[in-house]
């Protein structure tokens, strides 16, 4: 973002969107879609939202894995 490379940001958002869709992280998918379709003036705010949502989704996935690991023991 700091370099103003929207093409790269959109490319990375597209890749992340696919991974998030595979994991069922729907809010991440939506935010990535917004980044893909967005303009530079909104990118920083969207990236901040995306970071928060990725942290939340990661924590949720870690809980799921931990629960399954406990159940398999």
- Residue 64 to residue 67: CA distance in whole angstroms: 5
Q: Are the C-beta atoms of residues 32 and 50 closer than 8 Å to each other?
A: yes
The per-residue pLDDT for 4 is 74
Q: Answer yes or no: is pLDDT of 5 > 70.
A: yes
Give the pLDDT confidence of 30-70 residue by residue, as tens digits.
999 999 998 888 999 999 999 999 999 999 999 999 999 98
3-state SS record for 1-15: CCCCCHHHHHHHHHH
Residues 6 or more apart in contact with residue 40 via CB below 8 angstroms: 4, 6
């Amino acid at each position: 973002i700091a370099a103003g490379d929207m093409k790269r940001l959109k490319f990375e958002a597209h890749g992340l969107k696919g991974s998030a869709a595979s994991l069922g992280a729907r809010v991440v998918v939506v935010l990535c879609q917004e980044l893909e379709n967005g303009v530079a003036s909104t990118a920083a705010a969207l990236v901040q939202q995306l970071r928060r949502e990725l942290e939340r989704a990661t924590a949720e996935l870690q809980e799921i894995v931990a629960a399954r690991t406990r159940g398999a023991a």
